[in-house]
């Protein structure tokens, strides 16, 4: 049996393992977390290198992929620098091949409802979800990108792709060297709720992005809204139901009540396909093309479900 392991610096309360079949291969997928401890994660990667078919890096990114360019996060890369044999991915591939199908899935399933509530999308952070940015802009949605508001705590809504590119140009050289916990909740902080800039949630008809960001900053009530995310647990779904969310779209498949992160599912695809070697997101075009073929072969697509 193939094995794909996601080692996360997120909360261990979200750990999960299941066995699935992809491309005719049985694959054991498992997420284990170190509750924010990068040193412990690095040790796990080092000790299991060569014993696992593919690694996922969870709770963080190795870099940010924006407008065809990959920007490494220097504060995170040491966590995986000891890996020599096992392919390692952070989900960037699926974020830019699978998640960019989100808006078409909405249009093909609930077009009439969108006509009623409007096509306005809040993308929590576009710099690490560029596929979502492209998906909603290409579909003609009015957008707010919350990178400055939710990652940096600045009251600066960004409303177009040009603004995201400017943000990257100005801030990524600095942000990429900051401790990751300064810009993203890790460990138990992923379970803390701190509603922020709630006007953006109220304005939007569609709220898209990382589930931790959404649940951390959303208001208590989101009547009639559409959530597009992944890594949802049963507790997340209950929170969205209680808030009045009408539709939940998970960009990765649900297994045993759980949708795993893009890093986990990208690692699972590589394990099932027998991929070997290093994944270099800087040379993304060939890799993305291969990954898109794998996505099509297994039939992955964003899944939409009415929850209220």
Please state the domain extents for the chain: 2-92+262-300, 99-254
d(CA 147, CA 122): 10
Q: What is the pLDDT of residue 189?
A: 60
Residue-averaged pLDDT of the chain: 93
Q: What is the pLDDT of residue 37?
A: 92
CB under 8 A, 24+ apart: contacts of 296-302? 297/23, 298/22, 298/23, 298/269, 298/272, 300/98, 300/252, 300/253, 300/265, 301/98, 301/101, 301/105, 302/98, 302/99, 302/101, 302/102, 302/105, 302/228, 302/249, 302/250, 302/251
Cβ distance 139 to 105 under 8 Å? no
Rounded Cα distance between 120 and 184, Å, is: 25
Contact 227, 245 (CB under 8 A): yes
Residue 238, sorted as left (phi over 0), alpha (psi -120 to 50) or beta, turns out to be alpha
C-alpha 227/C-alpha 216 separation (Å) is 14
The CATH classification number of 99-254 equals 3.40.50
The DSSP letter of residue 263 is H
pTM of this structure: 0.93
Q: In the chain, what percentage of residues exceed pLDDT 90? A: 79
- Provide the pLDDT confidence category of residue 18 given band limits of 50, 70 and 90: very high
What are the pLDDT digits (tens) for 195-226?
999 999 999 999 999 998 999 999 999 999 99
Query: Which residues are within 8 A (CB) of 293 and not within 5 positions of it... i.e. 6 or more apart?
Result: none
pLDDT range class, residue 293, cuts 50, 70, 90: very high
Tell me the C-alpha distance between 218 and 230, whole Å.
Answer: 16
141-188 pLDDT, tens per residue? 999 999 999 988 899 999 999 999 998 888 877 777 777 666 666 656
- Output the pLDDT for position 187: 58
Tens-place pLDDT, residues 64-81? 888 888 889 888 999 999
pLDDT at 206: 98
CB 215 within 8 A of CB 239: yes
């Amino acid at each position: 049996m193939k094995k794909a392991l996601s080692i996360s610096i997120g909360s261990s309360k979200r750990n999960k393992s299941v066995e699935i079949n992809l491309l005719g291969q049985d694959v054991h997928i498992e997420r284990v977390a170190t509750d924010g401890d990068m040193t412990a994660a690095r040790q796990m990667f080092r000790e299991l290198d060569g014993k696992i078919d593919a690694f996922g890096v969870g709770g963080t990114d190795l870099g940010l992929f924006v407008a065809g360019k990959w920007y490494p996060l220097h504060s995170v890369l040491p966590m995986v620098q000891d890996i020599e044999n096992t392919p390692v991915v952070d989900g960037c591939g699926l974020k830019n091949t699978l998640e960019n199908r989100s808006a078409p899935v909405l249009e093909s399933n609930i077009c009439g409802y969108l006509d009623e509530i409007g096509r306005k999308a809040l993308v929590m952070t576009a710099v690490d979800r560029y596929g979502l940015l492209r998906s909603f802009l290409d579909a003609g949605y009015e957008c707010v990108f919350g990178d400055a508001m939710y990652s940096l705590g600045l009251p600066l809504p960004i409303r177009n792709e040009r603004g995201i590119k400017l943000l990257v140009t100005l801030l990524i050289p600095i942000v990429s060297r900051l401790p990751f916990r300064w810009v993203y909740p890790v460990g138990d902080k992923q379970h803390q709720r701190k509603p922020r800039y709630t006007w953006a949630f109220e304005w939007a008809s569609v709220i898209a992005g990382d589930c931790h960001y959404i649940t951390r900053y959303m208001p208590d009530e989101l009547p009639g809204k559409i959530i597009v995310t992944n890594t949802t647990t049963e507790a997340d779904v209950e929170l969205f139901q209680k808030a009045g969310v009408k539709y939940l779209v998970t960009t990765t498949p649900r297994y045993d009540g759980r949708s795993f992160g893009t890093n986990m599912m990208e690692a699972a695809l590589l394990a099932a396909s027998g991929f070997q070697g290093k994944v270099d997101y800087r040379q993304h075009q060939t890799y993305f093309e291969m990954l898109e073929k794998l996505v099509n072969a297994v039939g992955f697509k964003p899944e939409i479900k009415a929850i209220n």
